[in-house]
Amino acid sequence: MTTSRPRPTSPHLSVYHFALSMILSIVHRITGVALYVGTLLLMVWIAAAAISPEALEIVHAIFGSWFGQLVLFGYTWALFHHLLGGLRYLLWDTANGMDHPAREWIIRGNLAGSILLTLLAWAIFVWF
């Protein structure tokens, strides 16, 4: 008869923490999926424009609601975040920016840039 012994644990699990690069890598993948879903919204808008003016008015009413605006704002942020994340990975593929200080600056620039570009795009095309 075998006795069950506690399984060994890795000593690194007790000191493990999430780094910003890990979190943004996961967010990059999530925004990639969100872009697929958001592109369906673009297809609905184009289809409504092709069907009739009444269908387009319905889509405009949905997209113009507070929830529709929130979804479109999130889609815009996902687009810019994924774009800048792709450029970050392209830079890293050339083996540049891999040391710790440069990597942190690039990651924070990716996050700040996606927020600023989203606000700028909405300020130019939606709010004003």
Binding site for heme: what residues are annotated?
82
DSSP state of 96: -
Distance CA 128, CA 123 (A): 6
Sign of torsion, CA 79 70 36 92?
positive
69: its two tokens: 């605006």
- Binding-site residues sit at 82
Distance CA 120, CA 118 (A): 5
DSSP state of 14: G
Distance CA 125, CA 43 (A): 20
Residue 55 near residue 88 (C-beta atoms within 8 A): no
